[in-house]
Amino acid sequence: MTGSRSTDLLLWNSFMGKAYSVSDCFKENGIGILARACKEAGFSVTVEDPARIDFYIAFTKNDLIPRLSDLSRRIFDVRNREDTPSLRKEWNLLQDNLAHVIKGKMEKYLDDLARKIGKNQVKVLGIKTWLGDRFTYSERLAQRVKEISPNTLIIAGGPQVNQFKTHALEKSPFDFCIDVEGEITLVQILNIVKETYSQGGTKPDVIKKNHCPCRSR
Ligand code: B12
């Protein structure tokens, strides 16, 4: 895990392949605060934030959408409602197919990201976790990264960790969780990683360090 081509930190804003509301695509500042603090401390940082409207549009685009839009107008339009059992049946079937398509795309997205993390020899992966499927996919990415890039230290933070504290670590593949503001602790961990690796140490040595300022499981 040495060499100038490796990335110190990759920050991923977890997502689940589809948006519940337009606020899922708003630019958010938590990742920005973390990235700035780590860059100012001299570390190389890459941000992967899919919470962008152009990304969502490209990601969710598929052949089922025109028919689903047509059905939604016919079934749910308050003025011209045509809510028949056959339209409902088709709606439910297409929704199931859509969920299947999105799940497949998510698996590929996570696999590509895990490979990129391995290729760029990312030392620390930081995941901003949210509730529900976003958390499931956060665990999925962590698992995949462990397989493809076992030397990458995986740290979870963000709303779901802030809410569930150490419970977020139970049965999860994360190495550490950082509760509430991450900018100070993350920089401390990156310094520990840098120091440990410069002395020829590896990820287990970082985890074992007793003075690590975060909680480990
Ligand atoms: C403003 C706000 C938003 C804004 C902006 C968020 C932002 N941070 O910029 C917008 C509108 C984008 C937003 C969207 C959503 N939000 Co919102 N939001 C809030 C609110 C009101 C304040 C959050 C905030 O700005 N905090 C300040 C910033 C600086 O903190 P932060 O982003 O959490 O980041 C810090 C720490 O968490 C930590 N951290 C964050 N990520 C990471 C990652 C690592 C690796 C580490 C180490 C640390 C770390 O360090 C950061 C810097 O200090 C909270 C409620 C609350 N009072 O906390 C809800 C809240 C966070 N939102 C919530 C939800 C559910 C959502 C949505 C999923 C809504 C939806 N569609 O259902 C979306 C998801 C967006 C996405 N990208 O997918 C829930 C989260 C619940 C949960 N357990 O996941 C909350 C707690 C509200 C609630 N009580 O339900 N939200």
Domain residue ranges in the chain: 9-216
Query: What one-letter code names the amino acid at 146?
Result: K
- The CA-based diameter of the chain, rounded to the nearest angstrom, is 71
**Taking the model in full, what pTM does it have?**
0.92
What is the reported pLDDT for 2?
43
Spatial CB neighbours of 38, under 8 Å, sequence gap ≥ 6: 8, 9, 45, 183, 186, 187, 190
Structure tokens at 208: 């074992």
pLDDT mean over 13-17? 94
The whole-chain average pLDDT of the chain stands at 91
- Pair type for strands 9-13 and 153-157: unpaired
- 34 alpha-carbon distance from chain centroid: 15
Q: Please say whether the beta carbons of 189 and 213 come within 8 A.
A: yes
Of 194, 193, 217, 190, the residue nearest 206 (C-alpha): 193
Predicted confidence (pLDDT) per residue in 133-169, tens digit: 999 999 999 999 999 999 999 999 999 999 998 887 8
What is the reported pLDDT for 1?
44
What is the reported pLDDT for 166?
81
Look at residue 13 and tell me whether its pLDDT is greater than 90: yes
Predicted confidence (pLDDT) per residue in 35-77, tens digit: 999 999 999 999 999 999 899 889 988 899 899 999 999 999 8
Residues touching ligand 1 (Cβ under 6 Å) are 13, 15, 20-21, 23-24, 26, 28-30, 33-34, 51, 126-128, 130-131, 155, 157-160, 162-163, 178, 180-183, 186
Check the CA dihedral 109-112-114-116 and report its sign. negative
Predicted confidence (pLDDT) per residue in 168-188, tens digit: 788 899 999 999 999 999 999
In this structure, which residue's CA is closest to atom 27 in ligand 1? Answer: 30
Look at residue 103 and tell me whether its pLDDT is greater than 70: yes
In this structure, which residue's CA is closest to atom 36 in ligand 1? Answer: 181
Q: Please say whether the beta carbons of 6 and 123 come within 8 A.
A: yes
Angle, helix 30-40 to helix 183-198, in steps of 10 degrees: 40
pLDDT mean over 193-198? 95
